């Protein structure tokens, strides 16, 4: 059975918004505020789907939108946040005041993706496209690739220690820290940037350019969940040796929406691939210490404490 349509398509406008429609929407929201998008079009006298109104407002009409070109700092932040969060555009947008998820998504697909590709970086994994297979993180580190894979594909994560550092700042030349070094020549080639190498002379053989944004460190430390019985909400903070902070707020009343189908560690154990897939009761399990029967979810482990609310990545604070 299909879903009921969100609106009466036969009587709604589609396509580009007119000035009059914009004005109507702005006037209505100024008077009544946001919300109830379903009924808004009718109430505002718009022949538009509620979703369309919401999108128009959020992505274009909202008064707090910044608009205009992205700055280099925003570029760098997007790249780093993407390496951390993947295609969670709304989360990334939450870190960029005045920017919308749609805007960032478009910007990523049109500019940053190409920029990374031209540097030989896979924008999906933030690794070199011809990365040496041996160049994987050590047993105590996991790249953003691992994180994304675990969030999305249930693939294994090689975590062997109870306190595991996920390094998004892999010091190898092919990682995201390297990405922010090479902007200078980008302007020379950004005009009419094209996937065709014949049009574009890729100049990313810069010998040494000062690294930017050194104050943003995205290393995560995974530790067994701390259970705070006193407070419903608490936070933990990982202080990187260089002084950067990554804070994790965990709110019991605000559980993460996204499912945590991923690996985690508990009590200094090594989990096997089977457990990382959430089939810990299978005969394939070869964990060093049994995790079975613990508080772990029956549908898989709780990588980063997402299920238990140990880490709410929406509220990761970076300084």
Contacting positions for DNA (CB under 7 A): 3-4, 6, 13-17, 35-39, 49-52, 54-56, 59-60, 87-91, 101-103, 105-107, 109-111, 114, 192-196, 255-259
Cβ closest to DNA, residue 151 vs residue 165: 151
Q: How would you label 155-177 residue by residue, b for 16+ Cβ within 10 Å and e otherwise? A: bbbbbeeeebbbbbbbeeebbbb
Distance of closest approach, residue 40 Cβ to DNA, in angstroms: 8
Select from 235, 238, 233, 226 the least CA-distant residue to 253.
Answer: 233
**Cα–Cα distances in Å, from 295 out to 200, 231, 265, 300, 307?**
55, 20, 12, 11, 11
Cβ closest to DNA, residue 164 vs residue 300: 300
CA 143, CA 72: separation in Å to the nearest integer? 24
Distance of closest approach, residue 35 Cβ to DNA, in angstroms: 6
Cβ closest to DNA, residue 49 vs residue 176: 49
Cβ closest to DNA, residue 17 vs residue 28: 17
Distance of closest approach, residue 36 Cβ to DNA, in angstroms: 4
Cβ closest to DNA, residue 60 vs residue 273: 60
Distance of closest approach, residue 72 Cβ to DNA, in angstroms: 16
Distance of closest approach, residue 38 Cβ to DNA, in angstroms: 4
Under 8 Å between Cβ of 117 and 123: yes
The contacts found for 193-201 with CB under 8 angstroms, 24 or more apart, are 193/111, 193/114, 193/115, 193/118, 195/114, 195/117, 200/118
Cβ closest to DNA, residue 7 vs residue 121: 7
Cβ closest to DNA, residue 137 vs residue 255: 255
Distance of closest approach, residue 144 Cβ to DNA, in angstroms: 14
Q: How would you label 53-75 residue by residue, b for 16+ Cβ within 10 Å and e otherwise? A: bbbbbbeebeeeeeeeebeeebb
Distance of closest approach, residue 152 Cβ to DNA, in angstroms: 9
């Amino acid at each position: 059975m299909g879903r009921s349509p969100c609106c009466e398509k036969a009587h709604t406008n589609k396509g580009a918004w007119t000035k009059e429609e914009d004005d109507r929407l702005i006037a209505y929201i100024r008077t009544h505020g946001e919300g109830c998008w379903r009924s808004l079009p009718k109430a505002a006298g718009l022949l538009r789907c509620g979703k369309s109104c919401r999108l128009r407002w959020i992505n274009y009409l909202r008064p707090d939108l910044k608009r205009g070109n992205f700055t280099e700092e925003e570029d760098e932040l997007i790249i780093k946040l993407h390496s951390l969060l993947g295609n969670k555009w709304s989360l990334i947008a939450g870190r960029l005041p005045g920017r919308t998820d749609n805007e960032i998504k478009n910007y990523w697909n049109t500019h940053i993706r190409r920029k990374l590709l031209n540097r030989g970086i896979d924008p999906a994994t933030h690794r070199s496209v011809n990365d040496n297979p041996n160049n994987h993180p050590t047993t105590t580190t996991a790249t953003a690739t691992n994180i994304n894979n675990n969030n999305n594909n249930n693939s294994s994560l090689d975590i062997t220690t109870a306190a595991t550092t996920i390094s998004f700042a892999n010091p190898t030349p092919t990682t995201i820290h390297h990405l922010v070094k090479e902007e200078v020549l980008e302007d020379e080639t950004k005009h009419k940037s094209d996937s065709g190498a014949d049009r574009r002379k890729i100049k990313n053989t810069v010998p040494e350019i000062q690294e930017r944004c050194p104050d943003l460190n995205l290393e995560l430390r995974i530790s067994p969940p701390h259970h705070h019985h006193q407070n419903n909400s608490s936070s933990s903070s990982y202080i990187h040796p260089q002084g950067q902070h990554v804070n994790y707020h965990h709110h019991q009343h605000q559980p993460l929406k996204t499912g945590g189908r991923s690996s985690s560690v508990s009590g200094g154990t090594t989990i096997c691939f089977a457990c990382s897939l959430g089939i810990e009761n299978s005969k394939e399990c070869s964990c060093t210490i049994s995790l079975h029967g613990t508080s772990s979810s029956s549908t898989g482990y709780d990588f980063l404490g997402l299920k238990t609310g140990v880490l709410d990545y929406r509220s990761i604070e970076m300084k």
